[in-house]
Structure 1
């Protein structure tokens, strides 16, 4: 992690008249001051920036400044794009009867973005470099979730357990998953299926699909397990319907990730590697793999979102060893 001094915070408050401060802004300032890992922290309402703080260290615009040309501008544009994407994905995910989308995490090989929804159309967004290390990224993720939880409390809303952070202890090393086997998988579908099967069970991950060239190559799930069925809405989808739903969703996640990758280029840099769609009852995980491949994982247990994310990360690392 760099030891160079951090720039003084810069504030953007287009929705406020001069000197105006509300309780939300005070919470935003407090969270930003307490979380040096974050480069940017903002509150968006109905897709419009309400207030933002950043440590991007960009100079004040000069006479030759082109509007919209700084990274600060790019991050704000991405924030608007992400809040729009979140609303669209929320509608899509509600078809699974697992609750609303409450937290979205996007990571490239250079930066991470966290979008936590306070209520539909009301979001907080944090951005930070991944070079700070897994522990710092986890701290930034938790800080944005804690801020969103406090803002929900202002409206008398209960905590949705973003990322299972409220029920999961901080891992000793977020970069490691102690449950995953260290393996070099074979290239045939049977070997890949066996590898996926080693990670699926009623305790954490309930479905995994390996995709290549926009086609599902193999899927392993335990959606018929009584423990998993008990997590689902009894009047919702059957296990068979849920399998079909997650296959359709997985087909959509490849193009959706590519769209986010293009939108994030100026703000996050690098290539999108990870997308987490954290709903009130579990999460959907996307991990990009080399050579037009990707992995989709699902947990239906909100208490196990963090552990499931770790397992998907470890499995993606193993699958990345496959020859291109």
Structure 2
């Protein structure tokens, strides 16, 4: 009887319901989802190839961009294949360990993405506010150490999540109203007090994403102050253009991320709307980042056109 109770309260599998209320439209929703995923794979893969094959792009900004592209690939690949299985084959079952691994990867790698964007903001700050020391401060070794610290921060802070969720009893239901496993979605299924766990998750979110965002904003305030002190309009325009792609990337990433986070914890919106936005948050930035940098960055754009055999007069 005790073993049966343990199995019931600690299931070996969960059921992902997809998008409740829109089950009839799952196949149609899968078309843009699959298209975005394919574009993300192609775009980020091509971006990595462009930077790898062009020695002039082996600079801190582009190295951080490579890290961001790899993180984008991990996040989208962690969620989309299973989501498409739900939409196409009604394959809703996910093993508990796979579910917990998905939660860890989504949240830890997203935390890393915040860090990579902060590193890119720091690079732009040094390049514009202290250009003569840029190459001395951001050496390849320094970039590697910054990247390692960001990865370790995400892994260490988010490592407790799957272990905390593993020990929770789930006596309400084993059905998750989502297309992928999400920390708060599982917490809401538990039948014991999760206040401390939710507080830890909130603290991690504030300390990583929130703090990184504040530091990014501060970096750009200092950058703008330095730019508007430049003597000529051309110099100001050139300096601002080097930051534009990064600013657009941050808006694309932070806007749905912020909405998803607050709607899940404090909002009262329709479940299908929340789930759709949560998927956009994981899918849209990985697709858009290569496009933004390909269009806005002359070095990447010219190398990409050269690889594609397109000549621009």
Output the TM-score relative to the length of structure 1.
0.23
Query: Which of 1 and 2 has greater Rg?
Result: 2
More contact order relative to length (CA 8 Å, sep ≥ 6)? 2
Structure with more strand by fraction: 1
TM-score (norm 2): 0.23
